[in-house]
Structure 1
Amino acid sequence: MAAGLTRRRFLSLAGVAAACVGTSGWATAKPPVPVTWRGQALGAEADLTLYHPDPDEAAAIIEGALGEVARLERLFSLYRSDSALSALNRDGSLTDPPREFLDLLRQAQAISALSGGAFDVTVQPLWSLYASHFAKPGADPAGPSPALVSGARARVGWQGIDLSPRRVALRDGMAVTLNGIAQGFITDAVTDYLAARGITATLVNMGEYRALGSHPDGRPWHLGIPHPADPARLLASLDLRGRAASTSAGLGTAFDAQGRFHHLFEPSSGRPASAWASVTVVAPTATLADALSTAIAAAPPDRAAGILRAGGGLEAWLLGWDRKVTRRSLGNDPA
């Protein structure tokens, strides 16, 4: 997936992303200095800054974290021909799947079940249909025909994935995309990698955000959510201490110039989701925030609170097409 405005995420950091080693590891003669990396993870804009008294050690830690990113991209990338995901889509099955690949698919299946199928990693046939339709010169602005949509939709259904420790298999004609959950998984993996190496305060951005501890100066990590149609405006500023956040917005990747057809699909209809302009979810992990924001974006509006609660999310910020913002949380929703 391309970076920047072609992505479905619109989170931006309000403040400086920084990470520190535990205070017991600091050399009093050397104040911590920032060491920053910026790049991409699964095609998403990503960045990481470590505040560390030893710049060389900080650089080595970042290099190790990026090694984890590269390793996981070889599993989850839709665009690498040598990835485990590409092999599954090409061959229809994958023998002896890597542990993380199986784990992520199991988490995806759980979110599919609790969301009533609103989250579904098998929507790739729909993506391919719309992308190929609008790539043609003189494409019908009304989109693919109902018959073609129906045909693609017949190949969508999370129950068609057969999972076992030794094999993953797809029903004939199916294909999987992990773009609605894998960036969160990689964000969690990098956060865990840093924590295991003594980093106690960090805000990781590997396409999604997850905070570890508080800011090095003691204040909370704050994340600003820009309005997708007006990036100069913030929908909210979130306190992310020990939490993760993800935003899903159809405007992020549109197939047509008018933005009527985008990459967030309602599996039940085969059409682009239209319930919300954007959905931001705060959850204990980035994997969960990523998947729940996608599920809520693709579900009917009256199911947002139920999906958030069932999935273990903490709060959701829902932007309607009328530009009104609704907040849902486990603390302010009726049982």
Structure 2
Amino acid sequence: MMGMISRRRFVRISAAAAGLGLLPSGHPVRADTTPVTWRGTMLGAVATMEIHHEDRSEAERLIAQACSEARRLERLFSLYLKESALVELNRTGILIGPPAEMVDLLSTSQRYSRLTGGLFDVTVQPLWDLYASHFSQDNPDPAGPVPAAIASALARIGSGRLSVERDRIVMPRGMAVTLNGIAQGYVTDKVVDLLRSQGVGHSLVDMGETRAIGSRPDGRPWEVGIADPNVPGHTETALPVVDRAVSTSGGYGFQFDATGRFNHLFDPRTGGCAGRYRSLTTVSRNATAADALSTAFSLMPEEEIRALLPHVDVERVHLIDEAGRPLDLVA
């Protein structure tokens, strides 16, 4: 029952039907160009990459480079690879000479924690462990873990208790970090940076969080579909984006119990789970911000989101409230 958490984490680098110009010359790709596709796993879930290119060997080279970069970062941030830097940090409470990307991502995580009054917190892993253990029992209490167990987990949570320096990362024993609320966006941004450096000007990168590179080759915006949380496989709306990232959070993404009362979006103040919105989507200039803030905003009332928008790198929030009504907030 308690397999790896999945937030639709897959990679898809796809050109429009009109084709994608990747060569330094900027020559357009023919509409009938056959795409080059890679499928595998990344960050514990199914992954695919698809590139339309008139030069198949160039497309394959780009895919190989993107895969290599994503794998390198996965070896740092994964909760499930025994040799990852994150697993070592959780096991020992210290990383000496940590990878620069781990320092960068944890420092960024602490910044979002401060901006959101602690609602974004990468140290909520003890709550995940508690709920996973509780609901994996035979005939678990449908009311969830007992208050004393939740209080014990909360005592081991607090992003501010992480000491993040270039030469070492330290946290009190008993704490544990999960990067599931930000790593997908961060890796997406790194893959976008790599593709841009190789001349890609029009594409859509989706590594669990979506980021557009430019517009479609014909100049039209990309359209990113937002899933209907109540109807699997149905799109609730489509957001037009150009050079922007989109991230959606919702309790429906992973539920511990059949009723959906308990999900993976934990409130680090109370130990409870998000239930204010059916889903919440952020649009930002980068996928790291979109990822982290879609998580934090899921725990905030609408008025608090509105007040915070001018101070964070989010331009638009599309939410679906408990009654199923859509609402757009614009910075």
Q: TM-score, normalised on structure 1?
A: 0.91
**AA in 2 matched with 1:323:** G
Q: Secondary structure at the match of 2:180?
A: coil
Judging changes above 3 Å, is the alpha-carbon distance between structure 1 residues 80 and 169 closer, same or farther for their aligned structure 2 residues?
same
Q: How many residues align?
A: 327
- What is the aligned partner in structure 1 of residue 131 from structure 2? 130
- Give yes or no for contact 2:318–2:328 (8 Å, CA) kept in 1: yes
**AA in 2 matched with 1:245:** V
Shift of 1:143: 0.5
1:243-254 alignment to 2 at 5 Å? 243-254=244-255
RMSD: 2.5
Shift of 1:237: 1.2
Q: Deviations over 1:60-104 (max 9, x none)?
A: 110110000100000000111100000000000111110111101
Q: Work out the CA distance in 2 between the residues paired with 1:228 and 1:43.
A: 22
- What is the aligned partner in structure 2 of residue 295 from structure 1? 296
**AA in 1 matched with 2:66:** A
Q: Work out the CA distance in 2 between the residues paired with 1:185 and 1:191.
A: 10
- What is the aligned partner in structure 2 of residue 154 from structure 1? 155
- What is the aligned partner in structure 1 of residue 264 from structure 2? 263
- What is the aligned partner in structure 1 of residue 173 from structure 2? 172
Q: Work out the CA distance in 2 between the residues paired with 1:135 and 1:8.
A: 20
Judging changes above 3 Å, is the alpha-carbon distance between structure 1 residues 55 and 30 closer, same or farther for their aligned structure 2 residues?
farther
- What is the aligned partner in structure 1 of residue 67 from structure 2? 66
- What is the aligned partner in structure 2 of residue 230 from structure 1? 231
Q: Is the counterpart of residue 92 in structure 1 residue 93 in structure 2?
A: yes
Shift of 1:178: 0.2
- What is the aligned partner in structure 1 of residue 312 from structure 2? 311
Q: Work out the CA distance in 1 between the residues paired with 2:31 and 2:128.
A: 52
Judging changes above 3 Å, is the alpha-carbon distance between structure 1 residues 19 and 158 closer, same or farther for their aligned structure 2 residues?
farther
- What is the aligned partner in structure 2 of residue 275 from structure 1? 276
- What is the aligned partner in structure 2 of residue 333 from structure 1? none
**AA in 1 matched with 2:170:** A
- Give yes or no for contact 2:256–2:262 (8 Å, CA) kept in 1: yes
Shift of 1:328: 0.6
Q: Is the counterpart of residue 286 in structure 1 residue 296 in structure 2?
A: no
- What is the aligned partner in structure 1 of residue 326 from structure 2? 325
Q: Work out the CA distance in 2 between the residues paired with 1:29 and 1:299.
A: 47
Larger relative contact order, structure 1 or 2 (CA cutoff 8 Å, min sep 6): 1
- What is the aligned partner in structure 1 of residue 186 from structure 2? 185
Judging changes above 3 Å, is the alpha-carbon distance between structure 1 residues 288 and 45 closer, same or farther for their aligned structure 2 residues?
farther
Shift of 1:25: 4.8
Q: Is the counterpart of residue 117 in structure 1 residue 118 in structure 2?
A: yes
Structure 1 stretches lacking a partner, 5+ long: 331-335
- Give yes or no for contact 2:189–2:288 (8 Å, CA) kept in 1: yes
Q: Work out the CA distance in 1 between the residues paired with 2:38 and 2:140.
A: 41
Q: Deviations over 1:101-133 (max 9, x none)?
A: 110111111110000011000000000000000
Q: Deviations over 1:115-160 (max 9, x none)?
A: 0011000000000000000001111111000000011011111111
Q: TM-score, normalised on structure 2?
A: 0.92
Q: Work out the CA distance in 1 between the residues paired with 2:45 and 2:287.
A: 14
Q: Deviations over 1:214-246 (max 9, x none)?
A: 112332111111211113543321112100000
Structure 2 stretches lacking a partner, 5+ long: none
Q: Work out the CA distance in 1 between the residues paired with 2:318 and 2:312.
A: 15
Shift of 1:310: 2.1
- Give yes or no for contact 2:11–2:207 (8 Å, CA) kept in 1: no
**AA in 2 matched with 1:162:** S
Q: Work out the CA distance in 1 between the residues paired with 2:3 and 2:219.
A: 35
Q: Work out the CA distance in 2 between the residues paired with 1:234 and 1:125.
A: 34
Judging changes above 3 Å, is the alpha-carbon distance between structure 1 residues 131 and 28 closer, same or farther for their aligned structure 2 residues?
closer
- What is the aligned partner in structure 1 of residue 6 from structure 2? 7
Q: Secondary structure at the match of 1:298?
A: coil
